[in-house]
Amino acid sequence: MGPGSAYSRPVCGETKATSMKNVTATAARHDSIPALDERAIQRQFARIAATYDSASQLQQEIADELIDRIELVCPAPDTLLDLGSGTGYLGRRAREKFPALSVIAIDRVAAMANESSSADPGARTVIAAAEKLALAKESVPLVLSNLLLHWCDVGAVFFEVARVLEIGGTFLFSTLGPDTLMELRAAWAEVDDYPHVHAFIDMHDLGDALVMAGFSEPVLDTDRVSVTYKGVPQLVEELRRAGGANARSDRRRTWIGKERYRRFVAAYETFREQDRLASTWEVIYGLATKDRATAERGIPVVTLPGRN
């Protein structure tokens, strides 16, 4: 995050294994998640790859939490697949904590993979989509994925992770829940009917998708983080610098205009408290394992048309 922002965790630590959290009234439930524009995703992350680390403090904090959770995995694995590795921060930090760990870093954006490779030549860096991994069946014991799933076809990713995990392997991930950026969503709703914020999958649906992919007894928990800003321009700039631009296929394609933007800023200002503007981030953490029953289901390689 930039110098104009700060964050806190007013709510944390709700854990559910089988009975999942109800989504609050401030977040819309989505039975189907709108498609994303793959070319827009590629462009925006390629554009900010060189400066991403300086704008992604929150993302790094969440990565650190995932790394701490590696200690839940026994015995300790010797290889880590960093899925959606970006600039490779998670892999580098994991090796600092577990020096014997071998890291495979995979990202679909070439510019991000190049940054990762430059920063950590010791890791094996691969350019590939998370829905079609360039890895053999049952070839890795541990997969970590930090804030990737909301950019992907979640079901396809889960099936691919189940395919490449060894029997007894563990999948640890973080993603964003429906309450994320709820203030931003509400402010734009006062201006027009276009979608300006991504739809995020709730914890219940993530748990169902993990079970569908064959994982056993997935456990998910949530952490709500409040990031505050001096004003709307700082919020918008930080989202842009961290790759958080709207990439929905049904997004508005024409210029917003000064009047609409003024109304948006005015609507967001209603959330100001103690001279700061809040931005909510609902972080979902997941842990799932692959047992022999998963392997016996014969999880296939997933191929999706139009994916890199």
Which tokens go with 101?
A: 């760990």
Task: Determine phi and psi for 54, rounding to 5 degrees.
Answer: -75, -15
Task: Indicate yes or no: pTM above 0.75.
Answer: yes
| Beta strand 124-127 pairing with 102-107 | parallel
- The count of domains in the chain is 1
Give the domain extent around 251: 5-20+34-296
Q: Is residue 227 part of a domain?
A: yes
- 231 CA to centre of own chain: 25
pLDDT at 302: 36
Is residue 304, in this structure, part of any structural domain at all? Answer: no
Does the residue 159 lie in any domain?
yes
Read off φ and ψ for residue 83, nearest 5 degrees.
Answer: -95, 120
| Predicted pLDDT of residue 24 | 30
Q: Kindly give the pairing relationship between strand 102-107 and strand 216-229.
A: unpaired
Per-residue pLDDT of the chain (308 residues; tens, 9 = 90+): 444 455 444 433 444 443 333 323 323 333 457 788 888 888 999 999 999 998 899 999 999 999 999 988 877 789 999 999 999 999 999 999 999 999 999 999 999 999 999 999 989 999 999 999 989 999 999 999 999 999 999 999 999 999 999 999 999 999 999 999 999 999 999 999 888 888 899 999 999 999 999 998 899 999 999 999 999 999 999 999 998 888 888 787 777 889 999 999 999 999 999 999 999 999 999 999 998 765 565 544 333 333 33
Q: Kindly report, residue by residue over 167-204, the tens digit of the pLDDT.
A: 999 999 999 999 999 999 999 999 998 888 888 999 99
- Domain at 152, CATH number: 3.40.50.150
Does a structural domain hold residue 60?
A: yes
Would you say residue 303 lies in a domain? no
Domain annotation covers residue 305 = no
Domain assignment present for residue 107? The answer is yes
182 falls within a domain: yes
